[in-house]
Structures are given as C-alpha cells and as structure tokens.
Amino acid sequence: MSEKKALSELRSQRWYAPNSIRAFAHRQRTQQMGMRREEFMNKPVIGIINTWSDLSPCHSHLRERAEAVKRAVWAAGGYPVELPALSVGEVLVKPTTMLYRNFLAMETEELLRSHPIDGAVLLGGCDKSTPAMLMGAISMDIPMLFCPAGPMSNGKWRGTTTGAGTHTKKYWDELRLGNITQHDWIDLEGAMTRSIGTCNTMGTASTMTSIADAIGFMLPGASSIPAADSRHPQMASACGTRIVEMVWEDLKPSKWLTREHFLNGVAVYMAIGGSTNAAIHLIAMARRAGVELTLDDMADMATKVPVLANLFPSGDKLMEDFFFGGGLLAQMKKIEQFLHTDCAGVSGKPLKELLANAECYDDETIRGLDNPVVPLEKGATLAVLRGNLAPRGAVMKSSAANPKFRKHVGPALVFDTHQELSDRIDDPNLDVTEDTVVILRNAGPVGAPGMPEWGNLPIPKKLLEKGVRDMVRMTDARMSGTHYGSCILHVTPEAAVGGPLALVRTGDLIELDIAAGKLNMIVDDEELERRRAEFKPVHHQYARSFAALYQQHVTQADEGCDFDFLQSPVAVREPDIF
C-alpha cells in the first residue's frame, strides 16, 4: 500500500476547507440538501457516476447499485455523491451509441473535474459505456474503479438456450424464411431478455467488462457476476469500501496502469472470443493512458491465444454458465503464460496472487489451451487484414467466419448507403451468388457518422432460400459483438474520407486471404488513380449537434476513433475556485 494521503491533500478540500466566501457557499449549499456538517466535512468525496436511464435497459438496476455503493462509502468514512451521466443504452440510441462514446468520456472527465470529487466509482456496462467512462476517468487521473452492471440471466425459449443479440438475428432469418410464425416471433420478443443486466452472450458488453477487469479496473472477477445475483449488489458495496481506501492510497491510474496491463487485456480479449469492437476501444483507452497499443499487438496475440471461452456467438453457453464455472479469473488462469502476472490493478494485489486462488468448476465452458472452442488454424478472435483496400487495416472475427472463405476471390456488389442496401437486398433479380462480396460503405466514423453496427450485412433473400447462411461481407462500419459471419469490418481509412473502399465498383474482384492478412481489390493502380481523381464524398455532413463535432474531430478506427484533441495524455487543469 502506498503512503496515506493527508486530508489537506484531498482535492475536495479546495472546495470545502477554506475560510472564504466561496467555501462558505459550498458548505452552506451541501447543508441545503440536509447534510450535517460532520457528515461531509473532512471526508473523501466519492463521485458515483451513474449511466442509469429509463431508456438504458441494461442499466435499469444501477440506481439500486448506487445505493449499495453509497452505504459502503458512508461506512468507510467517505461522503458519497451520485452524478447522472449520458445514457448510451445500446439498443434504443440511434443512429449508434458509438456516436456518443467520446461525449460520455468527456462528460465523465468533466463531471469529475468540475466537482469536489476525490475518487470515483463508475457505474456502467452496456457496450460503449465501459470504454467511454474509463477513457474519461483515465484522463482525469484520480483514484477510480469500475462497477460493472453485470450480465443478465441465461435465456431459454421453448427449451432452447437463447442468447441476447445472437438469437435475435438467427430467428429473424427463420421468420423471413417462414420457418417460425409471427406469433412465435412475438412470443420470443417477451421471453429473450428475461432479467436486469447486460447481454448474456460474449457481446461487446461482456467483452469490454472482461477486458477492463483483466486490465485491473475492477475488483478482480467482478465482470462475471450476473446482475440478478445477490453477489452483484455485494460487489457494488465492496466497490464503495475499496474506493475510499484507494483515495487514501492515492491509487490513481497513472500510478498503476502500464502497457503490460493493456496486454493482459488483449490476451483475455482473444481467449474470450471477444467482440471486434474491442479492437477500437482498447486503442482509445490505451492512448488516454499514454500507452502505445496497436492493431498489430492484437493480431500478434491472436496468433497465440485461441478462443477458449465457450460462449455465444463463438460457442454455445452463456455468461451465467461462465460465472458458475469460476468466471474470468478461472479463464485467466488457463492462459497464465501469456499474462504479465506482476501487474496489480485497483485491488492492489498482483495478478499472480489472484490467480493462485482461482479455480475452474466447468472445463467445458472455461476451456484450456489443449481444448479450444476454435483451434487457431480454423480462426481466431481477431484477424487484421491489410492491402490496397485497407492500407491502415480492417478486422475480422475469423473464428466466427465460415472456414471456406478463409481464402476467397469474388466479385464486389457495392451499396453506397444503408437505405440502398435495405431497398435492394431482397430483390429477386439481384445479381448475386454465394461468392459475391457484399459491400456497404460510407458507414464509418465520419460517413455514418459514428460507425454503426451495420456490418453484419443481411444475406440476400434469394440466397437464404437456397440455404446460404454465410458469405463474405465488407464495410467501414462495425458489427455487434453478439453477431457472427464472414464479415470484414472497420475498413480503414473509411470511404467518406476518401479511403480506397470508396473506389471499388460493383464487379471488381475482391481478394481475401485471412492467413496472409491480405485484403485487395484486383484493380490496377492506374485505374485506381483515375477513380481517385473522380472521388466525391457522398455522406451527409452535419452542421450542428454532437454529430457535427464528432465528424470534425473523430480519428479513424486504427487510432481508436477518439477525438483528435483528447487522445494524448495532457494533465487535466484543475478548475480555479474563486
């Protein structure tokens, strides 16, 4: 444990301690809320940043969890204050929560900066909320830890295990084919997401919370605890106890967070068969910490650590099974040789000590290197592709792709907008075969904007009817972590900023070689130059709102899609108090 911080060094003391007219107002107004002087004076102030909202279904229990955090903060001698922050519920926010990730990061940083707060507990978990809040809190650099919303309970429908996201897509295809009825579809709607919490598959939510846990941002193993389990509010309470200790220890990110911690996150990312979204968020979070982390670091780890967690969409179990099987620490123990076990996170305990006590109770769900869910030669959590189509990279979850497409050449079928794709994809006269490479462009960070999860492009109905369930698809957008298929994503640079994806034409041959990491269009350089000279952006440029700011400042996927003015670690300037 580091040396105990003195009371006078707490930043909240700048607001509350002085004998000044301003500090008088701060004390007076806190008492206006019914607090007695002795309840808040001379105590660490703990900010509980809460992303609860009535339109954020995965976070519906977070107000109660905030209460659990508070009672422990009080008991530990702190003063808890809850602050609401932008809600980025994955499903109801349009066009995409990614458009708001950087704004939630900014809001987290600004809430902490502008208020008298000494330490923070971040309440989130639905997809973008985890990287967003962590990015902001890393930049702010005060003691902080993340309290994850936790996965929802396992799903079952008519005797079949159903996973949030993954099975929606599956049954939608069945409905389009007439294999289930409209009545079945409506019944499924009410049955599938049956409890509080984040998606119960290894979608982006559990990917990001597991990675954050592995890096050290949580009480160890917290990411695996199901939201509805009584151990979940117990964990929230433990966060309250720990954050007060962390304030006295002055355990802020810059004191513990290193490249090795991020590499632990990358190893876990591969082992859990995590969402392609993590490739963007990890880079964004690392840059906030001044850590150099690239797509190549991830591609390198992907050749060593196969998919081991047997969870949808790569496997056939759900997060509750993972928790009962021993959870994240049990999984980490099985890849211990790839981890930097001297690393300690917010618990202050080195990983090797944590793993020494970890046990696995279900080797079928939490697999070892000798029994992967997908062997490396059949595909990995992440493949990074480069070539004349994606000079700065594209990614693919090759473990979720049909092995027959690992090496593929096929003609492009290009759609410039999602509307055009929706209008034409089920046209019986569409010129398309199983070998076609379906392309959607202008759906990247600037183009959409916000790089929505449109990348699991629909299979044309006429092919679905012939039994086709997968084909090569390509886009500058992202894909939901709960989905699967041979989808090439995050093509960088994106079409809207003049990336080569903008130059492809229907009929051009596209060449994919996953093992070689190659993605090319077979078009000669002169022809490409000619097309480049004719390039005109077709995307909509926003004139107002967050979207306008976003389009002006967002970086490309290989840089984490952060804002250009936020990505480097520049010390936060403390506010003047006069």
The string over 71-97, giving b where at least 16 C-beta atoms fall within 10 Å of a residue's C-beta and e elsewhere, is ebbbebebbbbbbbbbbbbbbebebbb
Residue 480 within binding range of Mg ion, rule CB under 5 A? yes
From candidates 44, 49, 90, 155, binder to ligand FES by CB under 6 A: 90
Which of residues 65 and 406 has its CB atom nearest to ligand FES in the complex? 65
The verdict on 91 binding ligand FES (CB under 6 A) reads: yes
- What mask, x for binding ligand FES by CB under 6 A, covers residues 431 to 470? ----------------------------------------
For residue 203, state whether it binds Mg ion (rule: CB under 5 A).
yes
Contact, 518 vs 385, CB < 8 A? Answer: yes
Please state, in angstroms and rounded to a whole number, the distance separating the CA atoms of residues 141 and 119. 9
- Tell me: cis bond preceding 148? Omega within 30 of 0 counts: no
Choice between 13 and 276, CB closer to ligand FES: 276
Nearer to ligand FES, 13 or 51 (CB): 51
Tell me the three state secondary structure of residue 201. Answer: coil
Query: What is the DSSP code (8-state) at residue 381?
Result: S
- Binder of ligand FES out of 82, 107, 127, 321 (CB under 6 A): 127
**91, interface contact from Mg ion, ligand FES, none, CB < 5-8 Å by kind:** ligand FES
Residue 60 in the binding site for ligand FES (CB under 6 A) = no
Say how many residues touch Mg ion, by CB under 5 A: 5
- Backbone torsions φ then ψ of 6, nearest 5 degrees: -80, 150
Q: One symbol per residue from 169 to 208: x for binding ligand FES (CB under 6 A), - otherwise; what is it?
A: -----------------------------xx---x-x---
Candidates 45, 126, 144, 457: give the one binding ligand FES (CB under 6 A).
126
- Which of ligand FES, Mg ion, none interacts with 198 (beta carbon under 5 to 8 A by kind)? ligand FES
Task: Verify binding: residue 204, Mg ion, rule CB under 5 A.
Answer: yes
Compute the Cα dihedral for 319, 322, 327, 329 and give only its sign: negative
Rounded to the nearest whole angstrom, what is the least distance from the CB of residue 203 to ligand FES in the complex?
Answer: 5
Candidates 493, 113, 112; CA nearest to 121 is 112
Instruction: Tell me, residue by residue from 298 to 337, as one string, x for binding to Mg ion by CB under 5 A and - for no binding.
Output: ----------------------------------------
> Is residue 382 a contact residue for ligand FES (CB under 6 A)?
no
Closer to ligand FES by CB, 91 or 360: give it. Answer: 91
Which one of the spans 27-35, 38-46, 475-483, 535-543 is the region binding Mg ion (CB under 5 A)?
475-483
- Measured between alpha carbons, how far is 131 from 420 in angstroms, rounded to an integer? 32
8-state DSSP, 339: S
Q: Which is nearer to Mg ion, 210 or 347 (CB)?
A: 210
β-strand pairing of 390-396 with 487-489: antiparallel
- The Cβ of residue 24 has, within 10 Å, a number of other Cβ atoms equal to 11
Nearest to 308 by CA among 263, 258, 261, 363: 363
Rounded Cα–Cα distance for residues 267 and 336 (Å): 10
For residues 364 and 310, the answer to whether their CB atoms sit within 8 Å is yes
Do residues 494 and 440 lie in contact, with contact meaning Cβ atoms separated by under 8 Å? no
Cα separation, 238 vs 232, whole angstroms: 10
The entry of Mg ion, ligand FES, none that residue 480 binds, CB within 5 to 8 Å by partner kind:
Mg ion
Q: What is the DSSP letter of 199?
A: -
User: Which residues of this chain interact with Mg ion, rule CB under 5 A?
Assistant: 90, 127, 203-204, 480
User: Which residues of this chain interact with ligand FES, rule CB under 6 A?
Assistant: 58, 90-91, 126-127, 164, 198-199, 203, 205
